[in-house]
Every structure is written in C-alpha cells, then in structure tokens.
Structure 1
Amino acid sequence: MNSTTVSETQLKKEVHVEGISITGLSRAEAKKTIDQSLGWGMKVIYQDETYELKNFLDSRIDALLEEIYSKDAKEEYTIDTDGLEDDVKAEVKAIAAKWDVPAKNGSISGFDKSTGKFVYSGEEKGIAVDQDKLTADILAQIKAKNYKASVTAQVNETAPKITEEQAKALYKVIGTYTTTTTTNSDRNKNIELASTALNGLILQPGEEFSFNKTTGERSSAKGYRPAGAYLNGVLIEEPGGGVCQVSSTLYNAVVFAGLTTTERHAHSYEPSYVTPGEDAMVSFGGPDMKFINNSSSAIAIRTSFADRKLKISIVGIPILEDGVTLSMTSQKTAELDAPAPIYEEDQTMQPGEEKVIKQETKGSRWVTNLVTKKNGTVVSDEFFHNSTYRGKPATIKRNTSGVVVPATDPSASVPENNQGNTQTTAATGNGPGVNAGETPPQAPAQETQNTAATQAETEGTTADNTQTVIQPNPMNQ
C-alpha cells in the first residue's frame, strides 16, 4: 500500500497512541486527535514573565503516524521522547537570551566639562538563567508526560568583572594622535568647534560612532566660518572648511587604539597634515568617518586644541594585549597625470608667448599597511587600504587675441569677440567630484605624541607618523 493511498485511508483495525484511539481516522484526523488529547501547553515562568515552549512532541508524532499508516499497524503505540536533549537545550538558550541581564562593570560613564574630568559609574550585578537545571526540569516533565506543566526558571547572580575603583585604575589613553594646523584663524575656529563637539563623547560596547552625526551640520548658525574647501575640484570658501583635519586626526587615534573602522574615505587631493593614505575625508550629508567600539567596555574621546596643536585621544581599557601596538605605513605606488592646464588670457603678452604662473601637481596612488608590533618587534605588516588622489592643473598665461595692449595702458581690454577666452578658473579634473568640506592641502605636517611636527606649509608630511603612545592618566588628557 503506497503512502499516498494510506494517508487518505481510515484505519480499519483498533489502534491506540498513548491510549488515544485513532481507529477509523485518516492520518490528518489522527494527528489532530492526538494533539488535542495530549494538550501540549508547557511553559517556563520567571517572576512575571512567561515563555511558551514549542511542542517538542510534534515531530515525534509525525514520525509515529508515518509508521502506522505505511505499515501493518499494531494495536498500541507510545511516543518516543528520548533524545530530545538538543532540542530542549536550544529552546532554553533562547529563554536565557531573553531573560539574562549581564553584570555591569564599573565604567567611564560621563564627562564633566566644567572640570574637564571623566565621571565613572559603579558596578552592578547581573542575573543568568540556570540553563542546565531548566533543561533537566523540562526533560523530566516530558518524561512524566506532564505536557501542560509550568516550569519555574531559576536564575543565578553574576558578578561584574570590574568594580568602579578598578575601572578608574584600568582606564587609560589607548590611542592618541596630534596634528598641527595652519595660521588661518577661520579654519582654526572650525577645527576648534568640531573637536569640541567630540570632546567627552562616550561610546558603549558595540556602539557605532559617526563623525557627521556627532558634529552635525557645520553651519554658520553653529559658529562655523567660511574657509577653504574643495567642491568638485574647485577651491571654495564654505562654513566648516578644515574639519577634515579633525576627522583625520581622530581616524589615526582610532586605528592605533585597536578599534574597528567601518567607513573611511580618502581626500580628492593629497593632504598635508597627515601622510597621504592616512587621512579621513568627511562632508556633511555625504562621506563620513565611522568606527565601532569593539571592546567590552565603554570608551571615550578626549580632544584638545591650543597653539595650533590638535590632539585627539581614545580613553578606554586596553583592547590590545600588553606590549602590542598598531601603526600605519603608507607608500606612493604611482603618479597620475595632472588635468589639462588652465589658460588665462593676458593681452600684455606677445602672441605665441606662454608663461606658467602655477606648476601642475601630479595625482598619486598610495597603499597603506597596518603594522602590528609586540614589544617593539614587527609581528605583522599587512595591507590596510588603497587611496587615490587627483592632480591639479598648471595655470598658464598667454595671448591668443592677436592684439597686444601695453601693460601700463589702463584702458587695456579684451576684444568683444574674444571675451569667451578670458580667464578660466575651474579645474577640469581627472577623477570623481569632491564633496564640499574637504580641506585644501595647505596645513603643516602631522606629528605623533612624541614627534615634533616639521613646518611644511606647501609640501607637508613628516617622515614618521606611525607611533602609538599609551598614557596612564586619561583624567588629565
């Protein structure tokens, strides 16, 4: 008798499952009758919480009916409840995930801006469902056929690993970086505002930081001043110009601390305040700089800006093993052609004469590696990311009008039919557009905690930006 026919056939002989008669019933009717008779309704209770357990017998009943309706049926059957341990353990684990309350370690919890010091909160005990006991209790009720039983979950207190006093001793600067700004007062004001917005920020374990979300829109209403920034390759003045130095400085501190970066973008042009390849461009509403607190404790950001020195530190319980440091090294791997020159008409020049008033700048590609050291010895030197920077066109003066006007003649002008050729200032570019908010590469070079920055207003990088310094007293950072 095939299974299709059997499933639709009523049993002609007397058959009982757990004492429940299914004689004369189809397979579907038998399943419904058994379910109703057994009345599964087992639940787990803890205080005012109730968890309805799934019917662990369901698959066993299906298997039993398959046997009954595909073979010569016996008169009496029982449901096999052996071997349910794994199913019950999985359900108990889900219960624990819902009801467990992790112990809370003593941790950094706030920042007092009036004193410039961090505030710490006390530890708290947690609770955890006794999973082994609950599993055994549920299996015992199943074995006793108490399918409507209410099982009470027992919980145990869990102790925190770190007290408040221990936290105060354990927290330290786990990553820090310092860069030097220019003398541009408007740009420095923007840097001050953005760094102040970060100062004292606390991230809980698993929480993601967003530079754009934290600082918000860099607008005139918030005090941000117009300063040099690039928009689609053109140098403009916009509120917030210069904040990319803050995001780039933070990026280095984050990497050195051992935190996980989730979003980072290179500038369109080589920066000067950090080594190319080690920058992080941001633009509100566009590219962002993000990272996750992948440690088991809260962390905090500490910033300071004075005398053109921007210092950003990550304060936390060390993520890296004792003696392990992280750093970045970047190498230029290619030079890219500069965009086509920009020509400016100058009728004081002779026809055919050209004068370069601004040299072109080549674009470049950089590869950055993450270097791990243990007690000063390199243990790994692995690829981290690539960065590509656009070049800048040369600016060339020439006279294509066919008319030469003496330089001293105040009435010098361009003939009307040649006005379309006069002074073009927009760069043609050779790459994707640049978001507003990028800072033109005019700042001095970066420095690490122990390395004095060299003044490089035009070329702009120091030889060493890879040192990570761990300081023991974050309270005074």
Structure 2
Amino acid sequence: MAIKRNTRYRLAGSGSNRTDRPKRKNSNQSEWDYKKIAIFGGGLLIVLICIIIGIRAVIAGVGKGAKKESEAASSTEKILKEQVFVDSIPISGMSKAQARAAILRTYTWNMKVRLSGSSSADGEYTLKNMVEPTVDNLLDQIYSGAAEENYTLKFTGLDNEIAAEVAAMAQKWNVAAKNGSIAGFNKESGEFLYDDEQNGLKIDETKLTQDIKSALESKNFNTVITANSEVITPEITKEQAKAMYKVIGTFTTNTTQNKDRNTNISLAAQAIDGVIIPPGEEFSFNNATGNRTLERGYKPAGAYLDGVLIEEPGGGVCQVSSTLYNAVVFSGLETTERHAHTFEPTYCTPGEDAMVSYDGYAGPDMKFKNNSSTAIAIRAKLVEQKLSVSIVGMPILEEGVKISMESKKISENDDSVIQYEEDDSLPMGESREIKPATKGSRWETKLIKKKGNEVISSEFFHNSTYKGKGPIIKRNTAATAPPKSNQGSAASGNANTSLTAKKASKSSKSSSSSDSETIESRPDGSKTSSSSATRPGETTTKSSSGEPGSSSKHTKDSSGAKTSSAKASSTTQRSQGATETTEETIAPLNPNN
C-alpha cells in the first residue's frame, strides 16, 4: 500500500533553501524599539507629575483664599457677646454694622446755620454730618479688642472739620466793602464817571465756631445756629474818590512832522485814552489798540523790514507804547511784558522804550498789572506834536516817594550792514559816503527810588540791546559813463539834475526828522515790528508809488511825450542774522523794593 506524503509540513532542517521559512528579527532593531518605549514612557511620567503639582498648587491657593475670606467674614461679622452700651444704647449681640445703625437711629443729624437778618434759602447752610465719623471711630475701637461695658461718644478733635465749614460759610456770605471809584470815561465831555460806595458784610467766624462746638458737645444735632454778621463800611466814598484820584505817573515825548505817522500815533492814543483797569487785572497794549490796519484808519509810515526802510500801516505806534511804559513805571505799577526796539529810539532814552507789534493774533506786547487796591485809568492825547500819557489813580507809592529809570550804555557792537544808493551823476566807479555808520549798543537800566533827595534804592531793572546802522554810500556802477550832450541838452540835464537834487534834499529833511517802526521778518514768514528813529542827515528817497529806496526820473521820448522810469537808488546787503529781532523782556517790578 502506498503511503501519501503530506507536503504541507516539513521537518525542520529539510528544504533549507525554501523561501517560506519565518525570518528572525535583527537584535539591533529590537534594542531601538525598547529605547523609544522608554523615552515615551519617561516623558509621559514627567507630564503627569507636572499636572499633579499644578493641581495641588491651585487647590492650596483656593484654600488659602477661602481661609482669608472666612477670617475676614468672621471679623466683619463679629458679634458682641458682652454687655456693651454706647451712651446707654445697648449694642450687645450685634455686629458692627448693626451697632452703627442702632446708634445713628438715636443720633440723627440735621444741624444748620442761618445768616442773621436773612430769610431766603441762600441764607441757610447745612453742616456736614460729624456724628458718623465719630461713631465709626468708636466702633472700630470696640470691635477690635476686648470690649468694655460702657462707652461715651465724645466730639473732640474736630477742629479742622469745623474750621472748614466756617470758612465755606464765610466765602458764601462775606461781601467786601466797595469804595467809591472810577467806573468809566466820557470821551465827549472828557470826564471820568464814578461808582457809588457800597457796604460790605462779614460774619462773626469766632462766635460761629464756638457755637458749633457747643452744639456738638451737647449732642444737639438738629439745632439751627445763627451766624451773626456786621456791616462793613467802605473807606472811601464816591465824593472822596473824586477828590483823591489824581495823576500818579505821566510822561511826554515829541513826535515828528510826518503827518501819516502822527495820524497813527493819534489813533493809538485815542484807543487807550480812558481805559479803566480794575484792581488785579492786566492791561495789554495790543488788545486795547487792536490790529493796526488801513481799514481801521492807520496810514503807511516809515518802518524797517530787515533793516530796510519801508512804508508800513501803523508806523509810529511804538512811540505811544513807549510813552505809556514810562508813565506806568513812574506810577509804581507792575510791568509784566516789555521789549526793546531793534534800533535805538530817539524820542526816549535807549533802554526805556517798549516795542510792540500785532498782526491781529499775536506779537510783542507791552503789558502791566494794576497792583493797587483801586481801579486806575489811562489818559493819552497828542497835541501839537507832543504826546502825553498819564496814569490816573489813587497814590500807590508812599507819600514823597518817586520812581525813575536810569539807563547807561555799557557796550557797543558793529552789527550793521552797508547801504548803497545808485547815483549816475557820479563818475563811473566812484562812490561817496553820505552818512557814516552808527554802532549798535547795549544798555543797562536801573530802577531808582527816591524820597526827596535821598536815594532809597537803586536796583537792576533790565538790559536792552540795539543793532547798529551801516553807512549809506552813493555810487555809480553803470557799465558806461553818462553820454555827452550839446549845450542845450546839458542845460536841460542840469535842470533835471537840480530838480532831482531838490527832491532828494526835501526827502532827506523829511526823513531825518521822522521816526520809524522796524518790521522784522521771522523764519516762518510772520513779521515783528520795532521802532527806530531816522538819524539827522539820513536821506530816504521814495518813488511816486511810495516805495522807499527808489527815485523817479522823467525824460522825454522822440515825440516829446514824458515817460517815467523808476531806478533803484539803494541796494541793501544783509547778513544772515538780519532777520532776527533783538528783544529782551524785563522782570516784573516789585513795588515794595
């Protein structure tokens, strides 16, 4: 019998070359798998530990917070077990809040003060509750330690609180007596108007303070206290004021013959004439006069722009501010703003001027404060080229005491620019100096106080720095010399030259006697104004259009008709600093010095 072989199974070792035998794992691969398992397990263990620690910390924090809240609640809700009385009011078995409510139900607060002689609601004042803070302080003491049996509310140590309430009532009811005083000015009649005197009122603060303390000590918290008052009579009546008001400071300067400039001075003087300044208030020259424009009647007059003479509306008003400045200082009033001009003034001593400029928004100003106890007034007028400004008021200085300024030049500088004028009547290439240069200067001003002939004090007031003016030189820089002409033409030319010379001479005389504003341009394009006088002998020629620095020359063309050609007569060389204005502001005047 044949035996059938099962080929599905083979003995180990047979058919060693067959491919279906299970493969053995590599030993290195097994070791790497174990390492990965170990690393993963370690990381997981660390994460679990961190989570456990965090949870425990949160639980601990919550526990501490709950413990604190519990302790706080326990402290707030402390119940008194002992027998405790506050002014015979039992608070045993109560929390602090309950005890507070019980005491305040007994001691209600409605203490008021009424002004004597007043029946209106404005004459009544309700005092701030002073029971509540006293009760709170006592309960803090009772509930913070071992409580005693009996306590008494004591209303001591409230001096500051009572004083604050009395001060509030004094501010509400006290009225200062008003003296008779200047109230206005009638420009038509040229007379001042006066206000009547008025009585004042003052409460008796000392008695009121004592009455409040007595009510607190007696625990009469619903009483109405009367505030006694007295009438305060004014020191000066209206009629007395009329007799007492006088000129306490005045100053006069001379103007020029320049009609337009005098118009500007007159307008500015009219603007400040009759202005009343109440006690403690500040006066501003720019605010009082406003913007100096053609629309408001101001005329173009000599002014300097970067050192060059031009025509500017309002030229000359600085003479008004400077004249006012002197009157203010002499009165003993407190100057709060003052600026020096760019060039030395001629109508007053250098160092004692006050430059102003205004574009309707801002500009250098002249300001002072009424540091007296009564109102003061300004009087200003221009009569026959004399400008006078006065301060009218009651004397500020002690009787017999006078204040003056003493200014001295302390140094000079060469901050000036040469000004050239073309003159084709000169030989080609020739130049001629018609006005020498003037140096700039620095002045120191002192404030002198005298009583009779005795100098009481001499103190530094302020410094002022002024720029110099360069020489004016005429020259002929034409490429060719003037052409020769026949005798008739020469005669005609001589006549024209003579006419031009006469015009220049006339202009020179007018300019030499005129004072000019200085308009300094700023880097932002705005302008500031300062005043300078044209020196004797200084010549300024103008064209028919009024522009400075040019002259008009009339000739005839071939048809015999007249033609006009304007030639530049001056060339100004400016330094880089020519646009900067030198201004120094004084320190406020102390009238007690």
TM-score by length of 2: 0.63
When residues 7 and 163 of structure 1 are mapped into structure 2, their CA distance, relative to the original with a 3 A threshold, is farther
**Alignment partner, residue 392 of structure 2:** 315
Alignment coverage as a number of residue pairs: 422
Paired AA for residue 336 in structure 1: N
When residues 235 and 76 of structure 1 are mapped into structure 2, their CA distance, relative to the original with a 3 A threshold, is farther
When residues 58 and 271 of structure 1 are mapped into structure 2, their CA distance, relative to the original with a 3 A threshold, is farther
Tell me the distance in 2 between the aligned counterparts of 1:7 and 1:231.
84
- Shift of residue 166, structure 1, vs aligned partner: 1.4
- Aligned counterparts, 1:171-250, within 5 A: 171-250=245-324
Paired AA for residue 250 in structure 1: L
Paired AA for residue 175 in structure 1: G
Task: Give the match's secondary structure for 2:531.
Answer: coil
Q: Which structure has the larger Rg over C-alpha atoms?
A: 2
- Shift of residue 114, structure 1, vs aligned partner: 2.5
Greater RCO, 1 or 2 (C-alpha within 8 Å, sep 6+): 1
Tell me the distance in 1 between the aligned counterparts of 2:451 and 2:90.
71
**Alignment partner, residue 512 of structure 2:** none
Q: What 5-or-longer segments of structure 2 have no aligned partner?
A: 1-70, 486-517, 537-593
Tell me if the contact between 2:276 and 2:376 (Cα under 8 Å) persists in the aligned partners.
Answer: yes
- Shift of residue 228, structure 1, vs aligned partner: 1.7
Match of 1:296 among 358, 361, 373: 373
1:405 matches 2:497: no
Larger CA deviation: 183-192 vs 15-24: 15-24
More helix by share: 2
When residues 297 and 409 of structure 1 are mapped into structure 2, their CA distance, relative to the original with a 3 A threshold, is farther
- Shift of residue 10, structure 1, vs aligned partner: 3.2
Q: Over residues 323-381 of structure 1, what are the superposed CA-to-partner deviations in whole Å (9 max), with x where a residue is unaligned?
A: 11111111222222314445567786666x66545433322222211111112210100
Larger CA deviation: 283-292 vs 251-260: 283-292
**Alignment partner, residue 44 of structure 1:** 113
Tell me the distance in 1 between the aligned counterparts of 2:257 and 2:222.
78
Tell me the distance in 2 between the aligned counterparts of 1:173 and 1:296.
16
**Alignment partner, residue 184 of structure 2:** 110
- Shift of residue 128, structure 1, vs aligned partner: 1.4
Tell me the distance in 2 between the aligned counterparts of 1:346 and 1:443.
21
Q: Over residues 373-427 of structure 1, what are the superposed CA-to-partner deviations in whole Å (9 max), with x where a residue is unaligned?
A: 112210100111222222334445667x8x74204579xxxxxxxxxxxxxxxx9
When residues 338 and 133 of structure 1 are mapped into structure 2, their CA distance, relative to the original with a 3 A threshold, is same
Tell me the distance in 1 between the aligned counterparts of 2:327 and 2:381.
13
**Alignment partner, residue 332 of structure 1:** 409
When residues 147 and 287 of structure 1 are mapped into structure 2, their CA distance, relative to the original with a 3 A threshold, is farther
**Alignment partner, residue 257 of structure 1:** 331
Task: Give the match's secondary structure for 1:438.
Answer: strand
TM-score by length of 1: 0.78
Match of 2:242 among 150, 161, 168: 168
Task: Give the match's secondary structure for 1:406.
Answer: coil
Paired AA for residue 219 in structure 1: T
Task: Give the match's secondary structure for 2:533.
Answer: coil
When residues 378 and 63 of structure 1 are mapped into structure 2, their CA distance, relative to the original with a 3 A threshold, is farther
When residues 367 and 149 of structure 1 are mapped into structure 2, their CA distance, relative to the original with a 3 A threshold, is farther
- Aligned counterparts, 1:354-393, within 5 A: 355-393=432-470
When residues 87 and 350 of structure 1 are mapped into structure 2, their CA distance, relative to the original with a 3 A threshold, is same
Task: Give the match's secondary structure for 2:169.
Answer: helix
Tell me the distance in 1 between the aligned counterparts of 2:427 and 2:98.
103
Tell me if the contact between 1:129 and 1:154 (Cα under 8 Å) persists in the aligned partners.
Answer: yes
1:78 matches 2:159: no
- Shift of residue 71, structure 1, vs aligned partner: 3.6
**Alignment partner, residue 438 of structure 1:** 530
Tell me if the contact between 1:302 and 1:314 (Cα under 8 Å) persists in the aligned partners.
Answer: yes
Paired AA for residue 12 in structure 1: I
Larger CA deviation: 434-443 vs 205-214: 434-443
Tell me if the contact between 1:363 and 1:389 (Cα under 8 Å) persists in the aligned partners.
Answer: yes
When residues 231 and 78 of structure 1 are mapped into structure 2, their CA distance, relative to the original with a 3 A threshold, is farther
Tell me if the contact between 2:522 and 2:528 (Cα under 8 Å) persists in the aligned partners.
Answer: no
- Shift of residue 79, structure 1, vs aligned partner: 3.4
Tell me if the contact between 1:127 and 1:157 (Cα under 8 Å) persists in the aligned partners.
Answer: yes
**Alignment partner, residue 10 of structure 1:** 77
- Shift of residue 179, structure 1, vs aligned partner: 0.7
1:153 matches 2:230: no
Tell me the distance in 1 between the aligned counterparts of 2:465 and 2:311.
24
Paired AA for residue 251 in structure 2: Y
Paired AA for residue 325 in structure 1: K
Tell me the distance in 1 between the aligned counterparts of 2:146 and 2:166.
38
Taking every aligned residue pair, what percent have the same amino acid on both sides? 53
Tell me if the contact between 2:364 and 2:528 (Cα under 8 Å) persists in the aligned partners.
Answer: no
Tell me if the contact between 2:261 and 2:299 (Cα under 8 Å) persists in the aligned partners.
Answer: yes
Tell me the distance in 2 between the aligned counterparts of 1:252 and 1:33.
74
Tell me if the contact between 2:112 and 2:126 (Cα under 8 Å) persists in the aligned partners.
Answer: yes
When residues 184 and 428 of structure 1 are mapped into structure 2, their CA distance, relative to the original with a 3 A threshold, is closer
Paired AA for residue 114 in structure 2: I
Tell me the distance in 2 between the aligned counterparts of 1:22 and 1:346.
114
Tell me if the contact between 2:519 and 2:528 (Cα under 8 Å) persists in the aligned partners.
Answer: no
- Shift of residue 80, structure 1, vs aligned partner: 2.9
- Shift of residue 124, structure 1, vs aligned partner: 1.7
Tell me if the contact between 1:7 and 1:69 (Cα under 8 Å) persists in the aligned partners.
Answer: no
When residues 123 and 343 of structure 1 are mapped into structure 2, their CA distance, relative to the original with a 3 A threshold, is same
Tell me the distance in 2 between the aligned counterparts of 1:349 and 1:51.
95
- Shift of residue 275, structure 1, vs aligned partner: 1.0
Paired AA for residue 329 in structure 1: E
**Alignment partner, residue 203 of structure 2:** 129
Tell me if the contact between 1:182 and 1:443 (Cα under 8 Å) persists in the aligned partners.
Answer: no
Task: Give the match's secondary structure for 2:325.
Answer: helix
Tell me if the contact between 2:303 and 2:310 (Cα under 8 Å) persists in the aligned partners.
Answer: yes
Q: Over residues 276-331 of structure 1, what are the superposed CA-to-partner deviations in whole Å (9 max), with x where a residue is unaligned?
A: 11111111221111111111111111122101111111111111111111111112
Tell me the distance in 1 between the aligned counterparts of 2:238 and 2:531.
42
Larger CA deviation: 57-66 vs 330-339: 57-66
- Shift of residue 34, structure 1, vs aligned partner: 6.0
Paired AA for residue 291 in structure 1: F
